[in-house]
Amino acid sequence: MTDAGPFTEDVVRQIMRHMNDDHAADCLAICRALGGRPGATAARMTGLDADGIEFAVTDGGADRPVRIPFSERLTERVQVRHEVVRMTEEARAAAGAAPPHGG
């Protein structure tokens, strides 16, 4: 990881818990479409910093790290949600899936 910027270890743990518990399918979709792992069978968020988000992806029976850069350097926690929503929408569009209602 690069400089964590505004994201303390506690903040990163909270975001990881939320993503892995409530958005596991989104993590997988993001890694398949934007992380270059179209054959992935599982993904879990493992970290983030101001410049990108990190996952451990199961692909071909092995766990592999995937890092996906944000569209810009983040300076506030609220921006993480916007970036993850953007990534999820891009991943769904790439897979030909309709976006969820309410974003």
Q: What is the pLDDT of residues 23-61, one digit of tens each?
A: 999 999 999 999 999 999 999 999 999 999 999 999 998
Would you say residue 4 lies in a domain? no
Q: Rounded to whole angstroms, how far apart are CA atoms 78 and 59?
A: 31
The answer to whether 4 and 12 have CB atoms below 8 angstroms apart is: yes
What whole-number percentage of the chain has pLDDT above 70? 88
Would you say residue 100 lies in a domain? no
Would you say residue 103 lies in a domain? no
The answer to whether 51 and 2 have CB atoms below 8 angstroms apart is: yes
- pTM, two decimal places: 0.86
Q: How many domains does the chain have?
A: 1
Residue 27 sits in a domain of what CATH number?
3.20.180.10
* Residues paired with 48 in a beta bridge: 53
- Alpha-carbon distances, residue 28 vs 3, 5, 35, 59 (angstroms): 25, 26, 9, 11
